[in-house]
């Protein structure tokens, strides 16, 4: 089959590789309905994260099971499934506590920017739907696998409640999904920090009530203006730089919560400043598996349309252009079709 390989920074190719096969009795092989490129794939693409030469890319997926290992009990060939980018057993103490992304058997999914993929720990990782979904829901279901699940976790970790004031730092795909999540969780006011017209429009479509285009000190001053000098109950940090993290902390009110899901690169904290700031912070790789049944149900019921975040759809053979478009911010998120 053809699959996506990253040879090094800026060098993504679509090349012939061996078909995936069952390696352990707990594996499943799925035929993907679609795949996509993640914002986190841009870290190695930009040379900001070391890679060991040709790496199989892709960790967002949904599709139909074609084969299962001898120990798999809960999913079977023919079923439509969605899984998280974190492989988890769904039985260990961390999974049972809702933190599947710290599963004792955790692995990170790879090789999903391809028409077929191997999913380890299939019973714990995959969630099957009762029926095959209609083709027009594939983009929405694919989004639940990571980008929506991660935005959802940001809102959950930031403690968004009915009537909360929420701020979303970052207008990438995850930030936009954070807006959608905050809206679904009942936030009364959702302030999206974004400087880009098309992203601002999408944020409003997903439920943002205010847009702040300023950044840094000016952005913080605007937030203080909008919140009567108090700051927000909940802040979703969806970037991962020092600037975005400092802004997130400064925009929160004392006792407020910050959910941070942008993988931190070069971010440091000042212990004493944090002590006096009195903020709650929870971040990390999203335990998407915890949210998947609920998110899938919301999509199937037509309540949410997270698939709108894919503003570029390309065949797998054009995957290199998909990376370039996201790198140059010409696209928010690229969906790959087969
Ligand atoms: Zn586990």
Distance 108 CA to ligand 1 centre (A): 13
Residue 141 and residue 171 in one domain:
no
Residue 162 and residue 229 in one domain:
yes
Residue 93 and residue 161 in one domain:
no
Distance 25 CA to ligand 1 centre (A): 17
Distance 237 CA to ligand 1 centre (A): 26
Exposed, middle or buried, 202 (CB in 10 Å: 0-12/13-18/19+)?
A: buried
Distance 102 CA to ligand 1 centre (A): 7
Tell me the pLDDT of the chain (338 aa) as tens digits.
999 999 999 999 999 999 999 999 999 999 999 999 999 899 899 998 887 779 999 999 999 999 999 999 999 999 999 999 999 999 999 999 999 999 999 999 999 999 999 999 999 999 999 999 999 999 999 999 999 999 999 999 999 999 999 999 999 999 999 999 999 999 999 999 999 999 999 999 999 999 999 999 999 999 999 999 999 999 999 999 999 999 999 999 999 999 999 989 899 999 999 999 999 999 999 999 999 999 999 999 999 999 999 999 999 999 999 999 999 999 999 999 99
The enclosing domain of 278 has a CATH number of: 3.40.50.720
Rounded to an integer, what is the distance from CA 17 to the centroid of its chain? 27
Distance 93 CA to ligand 1 centre (A): 7
Residue 142 and residue 9 in one domain:
yes
Residue 108 and residue 54 in one domain:
yes
Distance 216 CA to ligand 1 centre (A): 39
Distance 59 CA to ligand 1 centre (A): 18
Distance 101 CA to ligand 1 centre (A): 8
Distance 295 CA to ligand 1 centre (A): 20
Number of domains in the chain: 2
Q: What is the pLDDT of residue 48?
A: 84
Distance 90 CA to ligand 1 centre (A): 5
Distance 109 CA to ligand 1 centre (A): 15
Distance 88 CA to ligand 1 centre (A): 5
Distance 87 CA to ligand 1 centre (A): 9
| Residue that is last in its domain, among 239, 255, 283 | 283
| Residue that is last in its domain, among 237, 259, 283 | 283
Distance 95 CA to ligand 1 centre (A): 4
| Residue that is last in its domain, among 283, 298, 325 | 283
Q: Is the dihedral of CA 264, 262, 6, 27 positive or negative?
A: positive
Distance 156 CA to ligand 1 centre (A): 20
Distance 125 CA to ligand 1 centre (A): 9
Residue keyed to tokens 């920090």: 193
Distance 91 CA to ligand 1 centre (A): 5
Q: What is the pLDDT of residue 53?
A: 79
Q: What is the pLDDT of residue 51?
A: 77
Residue 30 and residue 118 in one domain:
yes
Structural domain that includes position 159: 151-283
Distance 104 CA to ligand 1 centre (A): 5
- State the Cα torsion 149-243-42-291 to the nearest 10°: -10
Residue 137 and residue 163 in one domain:
no
Q: What is the pLDDT of residue 37?
A: 97
Residue 12 and residue 41 in one domain:
yes
Residues 236, 178: contact at Cβ < 8 Å? yes
Q: What is the pLDDT of residue 184?
A: 98
Residue 275 and residue 300 in one domain:
no
Verdict on whether the full-model pTM lies above 0.85: yes
Residue 297 and residue 270 in one domain:
no
The number of residues making up the chain comes to 338
Residue 135 and residue 239 in one domain:
no
Residues 164, 258: contact at Cβ < 8 Å? no
Residue 197 and residue 238 in one domain:
yes
Q: What is the pLDDT of residue 314?
A: 98
- What is the rounded CA–CA span in Å between residue 200 and residue 179? 11
Distance 100 CA to ligand 1 centre (A): 6
Distance 139 CA to ligand 1 centre (A): 27
The enclosing domain of 88 has a CATH number of: 3.90.180.10
Q: What is the pLDDT of residue 292?
A: 98
Q: Is the dihedral of CA 47, 325, 319, 100 positive or negative?
A: positive
């Amino acid at each position: 089959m053809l699959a996506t390989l990253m040879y090094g920074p800026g060098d993504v190719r679509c090349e012939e590789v061996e078909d995936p096969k069952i390696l352990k009795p707990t594996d499943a092989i799925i035929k993907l309905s679609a795949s996509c490129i993640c914002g986190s794939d841009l870290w190695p693409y930009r040379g900001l994260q070391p890679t060991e030469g040709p790496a199989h890319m892709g960790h967002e997926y949904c599709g139909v099971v074609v084969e299962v290992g001898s120990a798999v009990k809960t999913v079977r060939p023919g079923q439509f499934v969605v899984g998280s980018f974190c492989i988890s057993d769904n039985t260990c103490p961390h999974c049972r506590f809702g933190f599947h992304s710290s599963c004792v058997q955790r692995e990170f999914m790879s090789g999903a920017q391809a028409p077929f993929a191997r999913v380890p720990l299939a019973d714990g990782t995959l969630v099957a739907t009762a029926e095959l979904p209609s083709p027009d829901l594939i983009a929405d279901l694919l989004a639940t696998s990571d980008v929506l699940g991660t935005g959802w976790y940001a809102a959950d970790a930031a403690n968004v409640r009915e009537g909360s004031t929420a701020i979303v730092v970052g207008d990438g795909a995850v930030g936009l999904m954070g807006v959608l999540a905050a809206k679904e969780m009942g936030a009364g006011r959702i302030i999206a920090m974004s400087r880009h017209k098309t992203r601002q429009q999408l944020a409003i479509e997903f439920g943002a009530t205010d847009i702040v285009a300023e950044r840094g000190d000016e952005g913080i001053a605007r937030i203080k203006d909008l919140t009567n000098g108090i700051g927000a109950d909940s802040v979703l940090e969806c970037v991962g730089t020092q600037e975005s993290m400092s802004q997130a902390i400064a925009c929160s009110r004392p006792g407020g919560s910050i959910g941070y899901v942008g993988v931190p690169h070069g971010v440091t904290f000042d212990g004493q400043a944090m002590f006096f700031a009195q903020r709650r912070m929870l971040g990390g790789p999203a335990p998407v598996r915890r949210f998947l049944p609920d998110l899938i149900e919301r999509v199937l019921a037509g309540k949410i349309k997270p698939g709108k975040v894919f503003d570029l759809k390309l065949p797998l053979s054009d995957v290199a252009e998909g990376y370039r478009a996201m790198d140059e911010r010409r696209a928010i998120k690229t969906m790959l079709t087969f």
